[in-house]
Amino acid sequence: MSAQPSVTASPSGAHRAVRFVLPVIVLAAGLLAWELVVRIREIPPYVLPAPSVIFLTLIKDWAVLSQSLATTLLTTLEGFVAASVGGIALALLFNQSKWVEYSLFPYAVVLQVTPVIAIAPLLLIYLEQQTAVVVCAFIVAFFPVLSNTTLGLNSVDRNLAGLFQLYGASPPQTLRFLKLPAALPYILGGLRIAGGLSLIGAVVAEIAAGTAGAGSGLAYRIAESGYRLNIPRMFAALLLLSLAGIVIYGVLALVSHLVLRRWHESALGKEN
């Protein structure tokens, strides 16, 4: 009597489906409860708008909110690019010269622990408004890139470093073929953190700037809506900010996965 071969389905597909469905269910349940509470208790929109009202406001005010979203995203992108280039470049310099690291790293820490809301008004005095806002986004996002890249470059396996030295590799060759590949997961991790922080820095700086007009970002729209008791628009702007942050993190996480998926354990585990 021949035994029937048993077929075991891979749980990865079901696991991914569960990870996607469960948050959607929780979100739907939360929105439904919110909608019911507002309708049953007849809470006015200027106190707490229902999700349906927020969605309608988002559609109605899309022309204004989309321009503000574009302004905030542009500022975020500029701050993120500056932080990425500056953080990685300075970390490479630290790795090549410990004297430079000992001299400058404490000031990077001071810059990180100083609240950006306290720095923004000073920057707005000495710099142009848009430049000051970008600098605030840069300041907030800079340190995670610098610290993660520095950690990655210093975490190279000593045996491999000794092997490179044994074969007479020059410092640029060691950096290119050993240290940078080993530090790449750390660098990408720092970039994922910096993406969200640059958005936070842009929002804080826009609030500190407090300027109106067509070039205003979402942070100003939130403050303006609060002053005018247009709470549905405030919630709509907050929703756009949250979605922007999720998209930024998702894009950077996807880039990290695509870069690491063929060789690094952190990404290989997600394929199984």
Q: Give the CATH number, domain containing residue 100.
A: 1.10.3720.10
Q: Domains in the chain: how many in total?
A: 1
pLDDT at 272 over 60: no
Average model confidence (pLDDT) across the chain: 85
Report yes or no on 51 lying in a domain.
Answer: no
pLDDT score recorded for residue 269: 54
Report yes or no on 14 lying in a domain.
Answer: no
- Tell me the per-residue pLDDT of 67-95, one tens digit each, with 9 for 90 and over: 999 999 999 999 999 999 999 999 999 98
Query: Domain span at residue 167?
Result: 56-271
pLDDT score recorded for residue 177: 84
Tell whether pTM > 0.85.
Answer: no
pLDDT at 193 over 60: yes
pLDDT at 7 over 70: no
Indicate the length of the chain as a whole number: 272
Q: Which residue has the tokens 């998926």?
A: 261
pLDDT score recorded for residue 9: 44
Report yes or no on 37 lying in a domain.
Answer: no
pLDDT score recorded for residue 169: 79
- List, as one string, the DSSP characters of 71-82: HHHHHHHHHHHH
Report yes or no on 8 lying in a domain.
Answer: no
Report yes or no on 5 lying in a domain.
Answer: no
Interhelix angle 51-60/62-96, rounded to 10 degrees, is 90
Question: How many whole angstroms from its chain centre is CA 24?
Answer: 22
Buried b (16+ CB within 10 A) or exposed e, 169-199: beeeebbeebbbebbbbbbbbbbbbbbbbbb
- Tell me the per-residue pLDDT of 106-154, one tens digit each, with 9 for 90 and over: 998 888 888 888 888 888 888 888 888 899 999 999 999 999 999 988 8
Interval 151-159 mean pLDDT: 86
Percent of the chain's residues with pLDDT above 70: 89
Report yes or no on 44 lying in a domain.
Answer: no
Report yes or no on 61 lying in a domain.
Answer: yes
Query: Which positions ≥6 away from 262 have C-beta within 8 Å?
Result: 268
Report yes or no on 7 lying in a domain.
Answer: no
pLDDT score recorded for residue 163: 83
pLDDT score recorded for residue 257: 86
Q: Residue 36 is which amino acid?
A: L
- Tell me the per-residue pLDDT of 241-267, one tens digit each, with 9 for 90 and over: 999 999 999 999 999 888 887 766 555
How many angstroms separate the CA atoms of 116 and 2, rounded? 72
Residue 213: pLDDT band (50, 70, 90) is very low
How many angstroms separate the CA atoms of 167 and 160, rounded? 11
CA proximity to 131, closest of 120, 142, 140: 120
Interval 163-179 mean pLDDT: 82
- List, as one string, the DSSP characters of 87-156: HHHHHHHHHH-HHHHHHHHHHHHHHHHS-HHHHHHHHHHHS-HHHHHHHHHHHHHHHHHHHHHHHHHTT-
Put residue 121 in one of left, alpha, beta given phi > 0 → left and psi -120 to 50 → alpha. Answer: alpha
Question: How many whole angstroms from its chain centre is CA 109?
Answer: 20
